[in-house]
Amino acid sequence: MHCLDFSPYAENLKSHLETRGIQSQMSMHPFDLINRQPDNTMSTVIDGKAFAETLRSRIKKAVSELQAKHDIVPGLAVVLVGENSASQIYVRSKARQTAEAGMQSFEHRLPENTSESELVQLVEELNRNPQVNGILVQLPLPAQINSERIINTVNVNKDVDGFHVESTGRLSIGIDSLVPCTPAGCLMLLKQAVGDLTGQHAVIIGRSNIVGKPVAQLLLKEHCTVTIAHSRTRDLPSACRQADIVIAAVGVPEMVKGDWIKPGATVIDVGINRVADNSGKSKLVGDVDYASASEVAGAITPVPGGVGPMTIACLLQNTIIATCRQRQIKLPEAIS
């Protein structure tokens, strides 16, 4: 039998890494190069945009299946209070993608000075509306409104954001719940990039209720060792260098540098920050300094086109899951 000898290739790789000051991983198999970028960066780019497109097409099939078999059209209500420009863009995309998936989209826009009791009243109406299977109140809310009260006014069975205290509790003890969308998207991308996550050390930077804490719960469930780092963590770069998986969710543009990353680690960048580029035009960047991190990471999500598109796809999936639970029917085959 003819055996291919990859050792010269492996040696080249080793010296290539060393000239860039990166310690080569002697355990790296040359086949690991497959799927890597053709340019001189070493990371596999985790294509969230393509993944989300595939998921959305399965969701569309699932919606058709629900209509054909059960005469059900899932409905998602999205509520926006005020004029926050980023929120306006997100809400518009959510409504558009809901309709494109064949679901009913209910959009509610309320003025900045809406009172807490007015918003509670709207959420209670949506809770009672049988055509509405999922409710999302876009955050942040104006200062006069207590977000926690609103989140917990949403009927837990329609809580497609997974932010209700009961959804959070269920997730933390590992029983069935609607899972927050961005963390669910991160997990799908990680599993695609890494496969089995058992035993991996994940360092999550950021402890928000929307991303940091729920993604930690999901990774624990996947048998990862989980560290949640945050603004008061001592020596964050060295904590980060311990990680097989880095999840950056801090909202600080390009904070995580290449020399914070262990060679070969998987990097999931949740940040979406608008900054000025060299010519003064605005551009989107993540919480990770992509140029330096992609030189070291084994796989990395870009911004835009990484985690961002996954969030809405997971929201649509949650709407179908919520619909099926409410109607006590099986999940359509296309998404089960």
Binding site for ligand GUN (CB under 6 A): 136-139, 161, 181-182, 210, 311
Residue 81 C-beta: closest distance to ligand GUN, Å: 11
In this complex, which beta carbon is closest to ligand GUN, that of residue 137 or of residue 190? 137
Is 161 in the active site?
yes
Exposure pattern of 46-82 as b/e (b: 16+ CB <10 Å)? bbbeebbeebbebbbbbbebbeeeeebebbbbbbbbb
In this complex, which beta carbon is closest to ligand GUN, that of residue 208 or of residue 326? 208
Exposure pattern of 212-251 as b/e (b: 16+ CB <10 Å)? bbbbbbbbeebebbbbbbeeebeebeebbbebbbbbbbbe
In this complex, which beta carbon is closest to ligand GUN, that of residue 77 or of residue 181? 181
Asked if 255 contacts 275 with a C-beta cutoff of 8 angstroms, the reply is: no
Neighbours of 193 (CB within 10 A): 20
Residue 182 C-beta: closest distance to ligand GUN, Å: 5
Per-residue tokens: 198: 């058992």
Among residues 262, 265, 260, 266, the alpha carbon closest in space to that of 307 is found at 266
Is 47 in the active site?
no
In this complex, which beta carbon is closest to ligand GUN, that of residue 13 or of residue 91? 91
Residue 215 C-beta: closest distance to ligand GUN, Å: 12
In this complex, which beta carbon is closest to ligand GUN, that of residue 139 or of residue 335? 139
In this complex, which beta carbon is closest to ligand GUN, that of residue 145 or of residue 296? 145
CA–CA distance, 249 with 200 (Å, rounded to integer) = 19
Residue 137 C-beta: closest distance to ligand GUN, Å: 6
CA–CA distance, 211 with 274 (Å, rounded to integer) = 19
* Residue sitting closest to ligand GUN (CB): 139
Neighbours of 166 (CB within 10 A): 13
Task: Please calculate the CA angle 206-95-250 and round it to the nearest 5 degrees.
Answer: 10
Is 221 in the active site?
no
Residue 84 C-beta: closest distance to ligand GUN, Å: 9
User: Which listed residue (97, 158, 159, 161) is catalytic?
Assistant: 161
CA–CA distance, 156 with 169 (Å, rounded to integer) = 11
Residue 145 C-beta: closest distance to ligand GUN, Å: 13
Asked if 208 contacts 270 with a C-beta cutoff of 8 angstroms, the reply is: no
Backbone angles phi, psi at 182, to 5 degrees: -65, -45
User: Which listed residue (97, 138, 200, 317) is catalytic?
Assistant: 138
**So which residues are the catalytic ones?**
94, 138, 161
